Structure formats: structure tokens, C-alpha cells
């Protein structure tokens, strides 16, 4: 009887005792909208070890509510839930308050919450296997663990060299296994309600990955893009309506910080010095595992589809990619929303890819580019190779192109080879797409301060050499600050991307030269 008393007291002290508690275990329907890592560079990739994007999760749950005041607990939510962003709608009695409880049940909180309570100290005799149990009262907090009051007097736990363990009669009130979101509501009548819970969650990210395959004519390419979504949460979202959003959102708060747990009691089992001190004080216990969310387990790599598929693509015979359907695009304010047209399962610690867009026979031109200050000198420097497309319907494109990595493949020797890789920024419809996919050691630029006798030192000459057997187009842009000091010859050049640009067609295995005279420095 005496043993039961503390437990009853604990129950009575529980704040939940006054109201009934309803637990909603899982959603019936879920929609997941994934946002890119707001700090990722244009064209960057997903960091699977640390997903820095986030998602808006909208769950529909059917809940039977009794009349009166109810605390409604939500289970089966994402670990990375940003609780302060949670919106609960559909409750007939409205929301009195929302709570996220994060006092977690752990050895330390169990000890902390049982301070002053009666527990049982179990000792096992190593020699005889005899188990003896005696009552004890915890007298120290978890930081200075553990002093027990036993019938014999005051003792320290685990300083004796005996197998010892504490056994508790119950769990102190208010401790939960996981951080838990609950709302308090007051229903006028008992009824079944369809409740929508919407929240932001960390531990997601998405990216677009483009595959451009140059056609046999060398003048068009087939553009295909994967939409890659990753989830590092421990929860899977089955048959979800999934969409992803492209564009840049303003984010002020550190979501990871909002998800992080408030400080929890730490159990620190220490002893007085034992023996001659030659073994020193036992080291403190290892720190508790990091807060869930945002952190992918180390086990990734084996369940990832991309790499395999990409590798397959590298070696495959060139057959046009065909997909059942691509993501549907809609405008959402100033963002672009891509909706996956069929329900998908976003697996825990998993990555998923669906087709984002597919555009065949997009005309492009290959342009070589070099940018320099008119007063700089350089010798045989490689030029950038870029693919230029017009993001217009007339040029067989004309769709928003969200930023992502691009891999370009070309036919050679009867197989498909990687011709270059680049980064795509966000391109709106109507923009020119200049995709830098590498640099050329065949088309080289030399800018020299050539000064034959009787000539001034500011004389410059640009020499471009083409070692390819085919003609190339080269654009040399001059970065100018003071146009007053610009060589008259450069001043007359047409502007491209804001820079006076010398556009020259260099025939195969040929050289072309531009000379200009920079005005004398004062």
C-alpha cells in the first residue's frame, strides 16, 4: 500500500487530470510542400547529410471529440516540426491554447522528477545471483547524482562496485517520449471533427537537376529536369500530395533553433575518488544524442536512387527520356509551385525523384566568353564555354527554369559522353539562358601590352587563338568603370550583358586580333 501512495500523488498532481485527453495518432491525408534551402547558392545541390530546406506540412485528421474541455494531442507529426508555426483549424470549439511540451522522459528527468520520492534499490549478488531490494529515497538532483537514503543511512549509487539499479514506481507527470504538440479546445457537443494541422518542418530540401542531351545535329538539345526531394525526418508521409516551391523566400528565424529542445536535465553519475586515484575520476557520461531533426542518419547512400539513375544515364544508349507525367506548374504569388500530379510517399530518411520538366529539341548555340578589364594583361587564358538558349516559347522553351545543376551529354564514338556541367540560376520566361558548362583550352585569349618602338605603353592587343578544326564565336566583354578613360575603339563596341563586347567569329585553326589604345593616365 505504501508503495502505491506516491504514484497516486503524482497522478493527482498532473495538470492533465482536470481535462480529458484525446490523442490523434496519425493523419488521414497529408500534403507536403517542400522549400529549397534558402541559403543555398544558385545551382547548388542538396546536402543530404544536413538538409537545410524545410516543408509546409498540412495534415487532415478525423477526431472524435467529447463535449467540454479537451486536450488534443497530435502524434505522428514530423520530428522537425516548428511548433510555433502550427495552425489548427476545423475545431468546433476553437483553440484555447496550443502547447508544445518538450520535457522528455530520460534517466535524468526520471531521477530529477523523483527527487524526494521513494524508489527501490535493487542489488544483485554476483556470487550467488541473489537479488535483494530495499526502499530508498532520492536525496540529490541529477547533476550531483546520486545520493540515496536507505534504511542503513546515506549512500551513493554505483560507488560500491556492486551491481545496483534504481526502480521507480511511476513516471513523473509532464514527461513525454517526444516533443508533443497539443491544443486545448472546448467542444459544445461530442462530435467527430475534421481537423487540419498545418506546420513548417525542418529536415527537408529539394533541388532541380537538369540533364541536357545534345542532339545529333549539334544545334538542339533535349532538356530534362529531375525534381529531387529529400526528407531526413523519421516520419514517412504516405500517399502525400506533394509539391515543391521555387523562388526565394525571406526567412528570418533559424528553424533549427526553434525545433531544438529546451535544456534537459543531464544525469551525471559521479563518485568520490576510488582506490588510490590511479584510475582517476571516471569520465562523465557521453552527451545525450543530438536533437532530432535536420540531421540525416549516416546510413544514407545505399537507398538513394539518383546516383544509380545518373550512372545509368551516362552509359545508356541515346533513347529519348520519356516520362508518364511531369510536375504541374502554377504561380503562387511570386513563387513557382510544382505539383506532383499523383500521390507519392515521402519516405523517412529518403530521397525521391520525379520529372520536373521535359523540353525536346531546344535550339542552342555554343559561345565562348572571356571577360577582362581593358587594362589587364593575360597570356593564353582559357575561355568559358557556354550554351545559350532563349527561354521563349518560340525557341521551344518558355517555362520558368528553377535553379539547379546541369549535366550536358553529347554523342561521340557511338555513345553518350559527359560534355560539361554547370549551374543554372532561376530564369523567368523571356530571359536569355547563358549556361557556363566548362572552359576551353582550345580557344585561348591573350591580352598583351604590346609596345613596339615609338609606341606608347598603353597600347593593347587581344589575340584569340582557335585550335579547333571548326569555327567558334567568341565574346570578349570589357569591364569598365570609367568610360571617360575607355579606348575609343572599345567605346564603339556594342553592349552585351552591360559590357562593351567584341564579338568575333574565329575560323577553325585560326587567330584573330583586336588592337586598342588606352588613353594615357594622368
Partner 1 sequence: MRALAMLCVPVILAAGWASFPAAAQDPTQGNAQGDLAVTIYNGGQALVQDIRQINFPGGRTRQEFPDVSAQIRPQTVSFAAEGTAIVEQNFDYDLLSPNALMQKAVGETVTLLRINPATGAETRERAKVLAVNGGVVLQIGPRIEILRDDGLPVRVIFDKIPPNLRAKPTLSITVDSKNAGTRPATLSYLTNGLGWSADYVSLYDEKAGTIDVQGWVTLSNSTGTTFDNAKTLLVAGTPSSGGANSYVYRPRPQPPGNLRRAGTETAPREQLGDYYLYPLAERTTIANAQTKQVSFLDVGGVPAQKIYEFTVALFDTMTEPASAASVIKFNTGAKGGGLGDALPAGTVRFYQRDLRGDPQFIGENQIGHTPMGSELGLKTGDAFDVKVKATVVERKQTGSTWRSSMSYLLTNARPQPVTLDLRQRGLDWYWAETKVITESQKSERLDSDGVQWRVTVPANGETTLTATFETRY
Q: SS3 of 418, please?
A: strand
**Is 105 an interacting residue with respect to partner 1 (CB under 8 A)?**
no
Residue whose CB is less far from partner 1, 276 or 315 = 276
- Is the C-alpha dihedral spanning 154, 159, 165, 171 positive or negative? positive
Return d(Cα 23, Cα 20) in angstroms, integer: 10
Residue whose CB is less far from partner 1, 238 or 499 = 499
Shortest Å distance, C-beta 188 to partner 1: 18
Return d(Cα 337, Cα 401) in angstroms, integer: 12
**Is 249 an interacting residue with respect to partner 1 (CB under 8 A)?**
yes
**Is 252 an interacting residue with respect to partner 1 (CB under 8 A)?**
yes
Q: Where are the alpha helices (DSSP H) in 250-301?
A: 255-259
Give the dihedral of Cα atoms 497, 502, 508, 511; nearest 10 deg: -140
Selected binder of partner 1 within 4, 17, 21, 84 (CB under 8 A): 84
Selected binder of partner 1 within 430, 488, 507, 508 (CB under 8 A): 430
Residue whose CB is less far from partner 1, 39 or 322 = 39
Q: Which stretch binds partner 1 (CB under 8 A): 111-119, 232-240, 379-387, 415-423?
A: 111-119
Shortest Å distance, C-beta 68 to partner 1: 15
Binding mask 489-518 for partner 1 (x = CB under 8 A): ------x-xxx-------------------
Residue whose CB is less far from partner 1, 128 or 299 = 128
Nearest in space to 350 (alpha carbons), one of 27, 34, 26: 34
Selected binder of partner 1 within 30, 35, 349, 397 (CB under 8 A): 35
Selected binder of partner 1 within 125, 239, 376, 457 (CB under 8 A): 125
**Is 6 an interacting residue with respect to partner 1 (CB under 8 A)?**
yes
Nearest in space to 34 (alpha carbons), one of 248, 196, 206, 197: 206
Shortest Å distance, C-beta 322 to partner 1: 27
Write the DSSP symbol of residue 426.
Answer: -
How many CB atoms are closer than 10 A to CB 54? 28
**Is 1 an interacting residue with respect to partner 1 (CB under 8 A)?**
no
**Is 32 an interacting residue with respect to partner 1 (CB under 8 A)?**
no
How many CB atoms are closer than 10 A to CB 469? 9
**Sequence-ordered list of residues with C-beta below 8 angstroms from that of 250, at least 6 positions apart, any chain:** none
Strands 495-496 and 378-390, bridge-based pairing? unpaired
Residues 50-69 that bind partner 1 (CB under 8 A): 56, 58
Residue whose CB is less far from partner 1, 96 or 167 = 96
Return d(Cα 162, Cα 439) in angstroms, integer: 71
Residues 453-492 that bind partner 1 (CB under 8 A): 477, 479-485
Q: Is the peptide bond before 373 cis (omega within 30 degrees of 0)?
A: no
Selected binder of partner 1 within 9, 17, 26, 314 (CB under 8 A): 9
Q: Which stretch binds partner 1 (CB under 8 A): 80-88, 208-216, 415-423, 436-444?
A: 80-88
Residues 400-429 that bind partner 1 (CB under 8 A): 400, 425-426, 428-429
Shortest Å distance, C-beta 323 to partner 1: 22
Q: Which stretch binds partner 1 (CB under 8 A): 102-110, 216-224, 382-390, 416-424?
A: 102-110
Give the dihedral of Cα atoms 273, 266, 160, 276; nearest 10 deg: -20
Return d(Cα 354, Cα 345) in angstroms, integer: 12
Shortest Å distance, C-beta 285 to partner 1: 14
Q: Which stretch binds partner 1 (CB under 8 A): 218-226, 241-249, 302-310, 456-464?
A: 241-249
Return d(Cα 56, Cα 201) in angstroms, integer: 6
**Is 19 an interacting residue with respect to partner 1 (CB under 8 A)?**
no
How many CB atoms are closer than 10 A to CB 498? 9
**Is 247 an interacting residue with respect to partner 1 (CB under 8 A)?**
yes
Residues 385-404 that bind partner 1 (CB under 8 A): 400
Residues 360-379 that bind partner 1 (CB under 8 A): 371
How many CB atoms are closer than 10 A to CB 28? 11
Q: SS3 of 58, please?
A: strand
**Is 190 an interacting residue with respect to partner 1 (CB under 8 A)?**
no
Q: Identify whether the C-beta of residue 130 lies closer than 8 Å to the C-beta of residue 256.
A: no
Selected binder of partner 1 within 36, 73, 336, 349 (CB under 8 A): 336
Nearest in space to 354 (alpha carbons), one of 363, 362, 345: 345
**Is 33 an interacting residue with respect to partner 1 (CB under 8 A)?**
yes
User: How far is the CA of 91 from the CAs of 20, 198, 295, 406, in angstroms?
Assistant: 16, 13, 34, 47
Longest CA pairwise span in the chain (Å)? 113
How many residues lie near partner 1 (CB under 8 A)? Answer: 111
Residue whose CB is less far from partner 1, 218 or 430 = 430
Q: Identify whether the C-beta of residue 325 lies closer than 8 Å to the C-beta of residue 216.
A: no
Amino acid at each position: 500500500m505504501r508503495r502505491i501512495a506516491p504514484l497516486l500523488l503524482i497522478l493527482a498532481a498532473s495538470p492533465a487530470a482536470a481535462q480529458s485527453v484525446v490523442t490523434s495518432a496519425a493523419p488521414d491525408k497529408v500534403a507536403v510542400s517542400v522549400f529549397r534551402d534558402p541559403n543555398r547558392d544558385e545551382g547548388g545541390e542538396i546536402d543530404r547529410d544536413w538538409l537545410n530546406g524545410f516543408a509546409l506540412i498540412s495534415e487532415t485528421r478525423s477526431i472524435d471529440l467529447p463535449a467540454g474541455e479537451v486536450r488534443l494531442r497530435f502524434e505522428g507529426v514530423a520530428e522537425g516540426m516548428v511548433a510555433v508555426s502550427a495552425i489548427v483549424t476545423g475545431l468546433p470549439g476553437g483553440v484555447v491554447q496550443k502547447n508544445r511540451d518538450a520535457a522528455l522522459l530520460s534517466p535524468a528527468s526520471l531521477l530529477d522528477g523523483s527527487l524526494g520520492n521513494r524508489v527501490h534499490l535493487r542489488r544483485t549478488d554476483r556470487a550467488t545471483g541473489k537479488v535483494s531490494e530495499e526502499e530508498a529515497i532520492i536525496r540529490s538532483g541529477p547533476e550531483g547524482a546520486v545520493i540515496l537514503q536507505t534504511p542503513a543511512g546515506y549512500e551513493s549509487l554505483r560507488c560500491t562496485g556492486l551491481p545496483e539499479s534504481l526502480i521507480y514506481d511511476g513516471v513523473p507527470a509532464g514527461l513525454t517520449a517526444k516533443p508533443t504538440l497539443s491544443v486545448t479546445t472546448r467542444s459544445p457537443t461530442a462530435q467527430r471533427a475534421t481537423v487540419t494541422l498545418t506546420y513548417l518542418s525542418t529536415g527537408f530540401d529539394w533541388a532541380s537537376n537538369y540533364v541536357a542531351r545534345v542532339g545529333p545535329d549539334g544545334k538542339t538539345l533535349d532538356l530534362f529536369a529531375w525534381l529531387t526531394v529529400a526528407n531526413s525526418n523519421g516520419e514517412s508521409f504516405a500517399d502525400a500530395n506533394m509539391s515543391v516551391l521555387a523562388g526565394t523566400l525571406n526567412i528570418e528565424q533559424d528553424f533549427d533553433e526553434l525545433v531544438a529542445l529546451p535544456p534537459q536535465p543531464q544525469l551525471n553519475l559521479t563518485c568520490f575518488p576510488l582506490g588510490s586515484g590511479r584510475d582517476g575520476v571516471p569520465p562523465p557520461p557521453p552527451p545525450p544524442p543530438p536533437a532530432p531533426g535536420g540531421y540525416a542518419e549516416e546510413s544514407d547512400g545505399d537507398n538513394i536512387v539518383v546516383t544509380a539513375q545518373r550512372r545509368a544515364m551516362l552509359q545508356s544508349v541515346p533513347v529519348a527520356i520519356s516520362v508518364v507525367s511531369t510536375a504541374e506548374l502554377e504561380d503562387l504569388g511570386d513563387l513557382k509551385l510544382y505539383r506532383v500530379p499523383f500521390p507519392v510517399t515521402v519516405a523517412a530518411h529518403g530521397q525521391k525523384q520525379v520529372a520536373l520538366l521535359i523540353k525536346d529539341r531546344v535550339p542552342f548555340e555554343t559561345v565562348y566568353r572571356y571577360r577582362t578589364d581593358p587594362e589587364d594583361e593575360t597570356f593564353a587564358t582559357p575561355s568559358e564555354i557556354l550554351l545559350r538558349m532563349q527561354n521563349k516559347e518560340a525557341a521551344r522553351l518558355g517555362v520558368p527554369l528553377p535553379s539547379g545543376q546541369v549535366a550536358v551529354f553529347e554523342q561521340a564514338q557511338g555513345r553518350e559522353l559527359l560534355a560539361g556541367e554547370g549551374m543554372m540560376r532561376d530564369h523567368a520566361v523571356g530571359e536569355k539562358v547563358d549556361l557556363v558548362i566548362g572552359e576551353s583550352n582550345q580557344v585561348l585569349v591573350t591580352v598583351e601590352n604590346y609596345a613596339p618602338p615609338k609606341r606608347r605603353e598603353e597600347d593593347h592587343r587581344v589575340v584569340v587563338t582557335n585550335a579547333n578544326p571548326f569555327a567558334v564565336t567568341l565574346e570578349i566583354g570589357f569591364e569598365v568603370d570609367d568610360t571617360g578613360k575607355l579606348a575609343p575603339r572599345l567605346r564603339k563596341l556594342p553592349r552585351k550583358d552591360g559590357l562593351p563586347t567584341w564579338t568575333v567569329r574565329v575560323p577553325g585553326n585560326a587567330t584573330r586580333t583586336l588592337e586598342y589604345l588606352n588613353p594615357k593616365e594622368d
